[in-house]
Structure 1
């Protein structure tokens, strides 16, 4: 799982056209040849504007997560589609050629040019975890104080990507004293909820068992270490049901909103892990799922447009007057999380 950062969400929110910057950078790379005329393949595939927006967003996500093989295949697919402005084809071709030159090892990913979107698979790096483990232990062999240095970076230095990297490396080292120090830090320090969740993940990866109790804001939280999710897929299915409800309302007509709803939800669910709000989502109650989906839709709409139309969001998810109080509670939880992220 990527380093949890509410700051990254707001960066993405402000940079909706980030992919256009990438295209411009690719176009300006020395040695890139842009064909004078680029014709898509003769497949009768026509992208509507909203569909194009969706694929542009997907392309941005792939590039941000270094999924270069998938990005190349998506670009090849887009180049086969008809009916787009010529500059789009030039930008896609320029970016594809730059990616192929920079990352030739991914050029044959997914079966080549005609494979289409259905063949996407995550690029796998064999034994990546073991390689990381060996690398960290090699550093420990060279420096007997390496674990203490990692703990200092994580616990004493200002929060940054180095904090997350130190926690990741600590997950590969042995020693109960590391567990004790991380648990003590979790219990005694006032940590951002997303950092608390990353510490929990580190402890679980280290094999810690039992229950850990700590404060999340004003709430006392008790977490069973064996159940801490390490990937999005390890969260209970009710968590995914919330974004599925939002997808049903927005995926085609408002793909940008759906994209940011996914981003915010992934951050929020980590930040509330183990709390009363989190437990309420796991009630397996359709009404509860609708309430959280409506509140998520509402907060993202406000963030994107600056306007609030609560009645429209409530009607979309069939939030009745009897459900309104719970909807407003869920909305306040989102608002507090978003406000805290913007202030830090």
Structure 2
């Protein structure tokens, strides 16, 4: 149930693509620590009509946590630093203090968060639970997450976010992940915590897409950025991931072309593979790996092949 203090929903209806856009915006705001903007967007979304109840519950849960963890953001005073009388307490310390307070209220709170992560499908609520678990003390959480993340059948994004949580908690060492038929070994202390932490070859794929789209098709480039960031999380540590890190021009070109093609079809509903291949200089000899990359991106995006 939503908080009784939630604002009444106004006569605003979000279409599916509009909802997707706002969900992406919310993710970007949280990843870039723009908590004040995220709070404002959540308040707006809670006023909209026609969404599934689970969306409202997830938005309210996230809003409640953000307002408690970053109170000055909710008052419009948050500018990336704590106010003067709390300048020694950064955002992470505030979140850690909040976690401690939650445990004092409910000794089983950390276990409840673990159950949410492990038993519920990927959603904003599960990602929020992982974010909160970053700040709980105790090796029990480390052991539970380390054991669970190595099991089969976990959504790759949730898998990656769990690795980020483990790194934030200071866990070190290797874990073996199951990705379909592929087993992937990852060093926790090397897991990127933000987009800039990925090797430069990852950004070089986007740079190629930007050269072709940023001026004439900015919407395509925007969604390409979001899809590529999520896709990198999902293939982190895999053979495909390391093939990109070779940095070979032909490899980066074919991934850029596949990304462009996937997003273009998603937005426009049309397929013009020959034009895309020409645009990115993908020769006939590279056609098969291009089509493999395209299929991987389409599968991740949930599009039919």
Q: TM-score, normalised by structure 2?
A: 0.73
Is contact 1:194–1:271 with CA below 8 Å preserved after alignment?
A: yes
The runs of 5 or more residues in structure 2 that have no matched partner are 1-13, 41-72, 83-89
Distance 1:205 1:282 in 2: 24
The runs of 5 or more residues in structure 1 that have no matched partner are 1-10, 20-56, 72-101, 110-122
CA offsets per residue over residues 277-313 of structure 1, 9 Å max, x none?
A: 1111100212211111011001111111111100110
In angstroms, what is the RMSD of aligned CA positions? Answer: 3.1
Report the counterpart of residue 191 of structure 2 in structure 1. 228
Q: CA deviation at 1:141?
A: 2.7
Is contact 1:246–1:297 with CA below 8 Å preserved after alignment?
A: yes
Is contact 1:13–1:304 with CA below 8 Å preserved after alignment?
A: no
Distance 2:279 2:193 in 1: 33
Q: 1:263 to 1:13 in 2, by over 3 A?
A: farther
CA offsets per residue over residues 67-97 of structure 1, 9 Å max, x none?
A: 659x9xxxxxxxxxxxxxxxxxxxxxxxxxx
Q: CA deviation at 1:187?
A: 1.8
Secondary structure of the 1:229 match is coil
1:168 aligned to 2:136? no
Report the counterpart of residue 94 of structure 1 in structure 2. none
Aligned length: 246
Distance 1:145 1:103 in 2: 28
Distance 2:272 2:74 in 1: 46
Distance 1:210 1:338 in 2: 31
Kindly indicate whether structure 1 or structure 2 has the higher relative contact order, using CA contacts under 8 Å at least 6 residues apart.
Answer: 1
Q: CA deviation at 1:157?
A: 3.4
Distance 1:316 1:272 in 2: 25
Match of 2:178 among 209, 215, 222: 215
Distance 2:279 2:294 in 1: 15
Report the counterpart of residue 255 of structure 1 in structure 2. 218
Report the counterpart of residue 87 of structure 2 in structure 1. none
1:124 aligned to 2:87? no
Secondary structure of the 2:150 match is helix
Distance 2:195 2:15 in 1: 20
Report the counterpart of residue 14 of structure 1 in structure 2. 17
Report the counterpart of residue 325 of structure 1 in structure 2. 288
